[in-house]
Structure 1
Amino acid sequence: MIYRPLGRTGWNISAIGFGAWAIGGTWGDTDDTAAMAALHRALDRGVNFFDTADVYGDGHSERLLARLKRERPGDAFHIATKAGRRLNPHVAEGYRDLKPFIERSLKNLETDTLDLLQLHCPPTAVYAMPEVFGALDDLVREGKLRHYGVSVERIDEALAAIKFPGVQSVQIIYNLFRQRPAEVFLPAARAAQVGVLARLPLSSGMLSGKFTRDSQFGADDHRGFNRQGEAFDKGETFSGVDYEQGLAAVEELRQLLPEGVSMARLALRWILMNEAVTTAIPGGRTPAQVDENVSAADLAALPAPLMQALAELYQRRIAPQVHGLW
């Protein structure tokens, strides 16, 4: 495993983390036995960073991570969670006081202090409200939070966030189908010593190479019900790429795979090629998925001709759909 510094926290975290959205909900059926086995396997493979949120399964994902802490008391690892999406209505003003949600997460995670609290894709107006970040500073002083950061939809939001000195991390969609963050944001984050968490690194599973036109998604799976942003930002589902066009790009990508390297491993290793990225946080619902994800850190650096071919594929197939939207 590769370990990289997370912002100015003093933590060195695994370059492949564990995204716990899928074990919480809105990814189809969940199986707690398999989920716990996956979490344990992640620890066994050197993962020490787990990302969750209070809305993943209405707190279920947080509670599974609390169980992991109980079952692995000798292992040191960090849990990042998020708050804000439970606001109803989800408006900027609600971010002035997240204490009720934070108290709930503290209870779910069975702890007195959250390792890392992230604002959960708040409205853009929040980044013009210094009082929100002042309140987070107060919560750090009170001992409710060790550190805080943000999860964003847009690059302009990410750039605004890192102007606040207390922000230690930014979570953003960055993958082979969403390459724009590398243009401006990743260099800015590195200069500011802000950690970067690359979410949806496999583009909702599209970059696993396992989907076809006949793949079926359950009624409770956002990959079926949110393709046009019916429930939340459409960029959260397949990175905002049209499903059919995504499949076509994947077939072309398949021809570029080095011998013996799966598409998922290639996609994750591509993300880690940018040293401004602290960690990629793929989901894993089974130990086998965790093994494949983690093994990406063992791959050698991707050669320059392959990197160029991947950039060209993106510019031709994907960029016209998504590049300017987020």
Structure 2
Amino acid sequence: MDERPLGTTGFDVSEIGLGTWQLGSDWGPVTDEEAADAIETALDAGITFLDTADVYGDGDSERRIGAVLDDRDDDVVVATKAGRRLDPHEADGYNRDNLERFVDRSRENLGVESLDLVQLHCPPRDAYYRPDVFEALADLRETGKIDHYGVSVEKVEDALKAIEYDGVETVQIIFNPLRQRPAELFFREAQRRNVGVIVRVPLASGLLTGALSADAEFSEDDHRNYNRDGDAFDVGETFAGIPFEDGLAAAESLETVVPDGVSLAQFTLRWILSFDAVSTIIPGSKTPAHIRDNVEAASLPPLSADQFAHVEDVYDTYAREHVHHRW
């Protein structure tokens, strides 16, 4: 699998990575063995970028990654996130002491001396306007506890503000055929500043796999059940913020231009990779077959102009009014 540079970090990472939210929590139950199988499948398939967070399963995702890597000799970049352990989750909590405490816990969970990449975990808007937050990250880098830092954001505006800070080397953001706004100003600015872009929620919580239907049922501990209205966290993290029925209709329309022998998920990932600003994509799965299929998307031929136009039409028809000015 081809690799792309991750901003100014010096890391070259696989075009398809692995998101591991589902290996910790909020996607139904998963055992240690299932998690290990998923991680090992990803590594064996050529994935060199793993994304996690300290709150995924209260650290289970980090610990499971650490356990697998401890038994292997892979050249892999592990990115984690910090900040969502705050209660209440307020900008005041993004201070030096708390960030160091979170970083130390993640270092222990992953079993490393220094974290490859730490991302602020979708902090409140006010945090982006506090230079001391980013000074704290720079200080943690100087102490050798982290190698690089960036942000994971909900909104394009937050991403644009974050990359004004020189030390921010990466931005993680939602981008897919149903969430296209980042491809406007933000992607251009990220490229101009040589900021790495990590794309999350690429398959819109399963909508863009073509595997969901109107009668789909999700377990009680699956966010696609309990967060459809944003009751637990930002609703844009669930089905990319698209009403479920509209998302199903959008997926059905996209299927009409997917080539034979290619899945909708692969088509979607290949569409995302068409944007040069993107460094890596982190679809999440705990199914080895799905992980291997996702990796194969990187080797597909480019989309045609007609396919691109259809994706744009689908966005305008089913998604734009719900998401474009919201995120």
Work out the CA distance in 1 between the residues paired with 2:271 and 2:195. 20
Mind listing any 5+ residue stretches in structure 1 that lack a counterpart? none
Q: Counterpart in 1 of 2:78?
A: 79
Task: Indicate whether 1:238 and 2:245 are aligned.
Answer: no
Aligned residue for 1:157, secondary structure, equals helix
Q: Counterpart in 1 of 2:12?
A: 12
Moved over 3 A (4+): none
Structure 1 counterpart of 2:25, one-letter code: G
Task: Indicate whether 1:229 and 2:251 are aligned.
Answer: no
Q: Counterpart in 2 of 1:128?
A: 129
Aligned residue for 2:310, secondary structure, equals helix
Asked if 2 retains the 8 angstrom alpha-carbon contact of 1:34 and 1:287, the reply is no
Indicate the percent of aligned positions where both proteins have the same amino acid: 51
Aligned residue for 1:38, secondary structure, equals helix
Q: Counterpart in 2 of 1:139?
A: 140
Mind listing any 5+ residue stretches in structure 2 that lack a counterpart? none
Structure 1 counterpart of 2:79, one-letter code: A
Work out the CA distance in 1 between the residues paired with 2:238 and 2:219. 14
Deviation, 1:34, is: 2.1
Aligned residue for 1:153, secondary structure, equals coil
Deviation, 1:181, is: 0.3
Q: Counterpart in 1 of 2:41?
A: 41
Q: Which stretch has the larger CA shift, 159-168 or 30-39?
A: 30-39
Work out the CA distance in 1 between the residues paired with 2:68 and 2:76. 10
Aligned residue for 2:119, secondary structure, equals strand
Q: How big is each residue's C-alpha offset from its partner over 1:237-270, in whole Å with a ceiling of 9 and x where there is no partner?
A: 0000000111111111111111111000001111
Structure 1 counterpart of 2:259, one-letter code: P
Work out the CA distance in 2 between the residues paired with 1:259 and 1:287. 22
Work out the CA distance in 2 between the residues paired with 1:301 and 1:2. 14
Work out the CA distance in 2 between the residues paired with 1:66 and 1:80. 12
Deviation, 1:9, is: 0.9
Aligned residue for 2:13, secondary structure, equals strand
Q: Counterpart in 1 of 2:50?
A: 50
Q: How big is each residue's C-alpha offset from its partner over 1:146-193, in whole Å with a ceiling of 9 and x where there is no partner?
A: 000000000000000001000010000001110010011011101100
Aligned residue for 2:22, secondary structure, equals coil
Work out the CA distance in 1 between the residues paired with 2:243 and 2:314. 16
Q: Counterpart in 1 of 2:301?
A: 300
Work out the CA distance in 2 between the residues paired with 1:168 and 1:198. 14
Work out the CA distance in 1 between the residues paired with 2:323 and 2:133. 30
Asked if 2 retains the 8 angstrom alpha-carbon contact of 1:80 and 1:118, the reply is yes
Q: Counterpart in 2 of 1:261?
A: 262
Q: Counterpart in 2 of 1:90?
A: 89
Deviation, 1:41, is: 1.2
Alignment of 1:132-211 (within 5 A): 132-211=133-212
Work out the CA distance in 1 between the residues paired with 2:36 and 2:197. 26
Work out the CA distance in 2 between the residues paired with 1:130 and 1:228. 33
Aligned residue for 1:145, secondary structure, equals coil
Q: Which stretch has the larger CA shift, 22-31 or 233-242?
A: 22-31
Aligned residue for 2:57, secondary structure, equals coil
Aligned residue for 2:170, secondary structure, equals strand
Asked if 2 retains the 8 angstrom alpha-carbon contact of 1:201 and 1:281, the reply is yes
Asked if 2 retains the 8 angstrom alpha-carbon contact of 1:28 and 1:221, the reply is yes
Asked if 2 retains the 8 angstrom alpha-carbon contact of 1:23 and 1:285, the reply is yes
Q: Counterpart in 1 of 2:250?
A: 249
Structure 1 counterpart of 2:314, one-letter code: L
Q: Counterpart in 2 of 1:110?
A: 111
Q: Counterpart in 1 of 2:67?
A: 67
Deviation, 1:101, is: 1.0
Deviation, 1:71, is: 1.7
Q: How big is each residue's C-alpha offset from its partner over 1:113-134, in whole Å with a ceiling of 9 and x where there is no partner?
A: 0000000000011111000100
Aligned residue for 1:25, secondary structure, equals coil
Q: How big is each residue's C-alpha offset from its partner over 1:50-102, in whole Å with a ceiling of 9 and x where there is no partner?
A: 00000000000000110111121x21101000000000110001001311111
Q: How big is each residue's C-alpha offset from its partner over 1:201-241, in whole Å with a ceiling of 9 and x where there is no partner?
A: 00011101101111110110000100110000000000000
Work out the CA distance in 1 between the residues paired with 2:47 and 2:32. 19
Work out the CA distance in 1 between the residues paired with 2:34 and 2:297. 21
Structure 2 counterpart of 1:33, one-letter code: E
Structure 1 counterpart of 2:49, one-letter code: F
Asked if 1 retains the 8 angstrom alpha-carbon contact of 2:254 and 2:310, the reply is no
Q: How big is each residue's C-alpha offset from its partner over 1:251-304, in whole Å with a ceiling of 9 and x where there is no partner?
A: 111111111110000011110000100001001202111101101101011111
> C-alpha root-mean-square deviation of aligned residues, in Å?
0.7
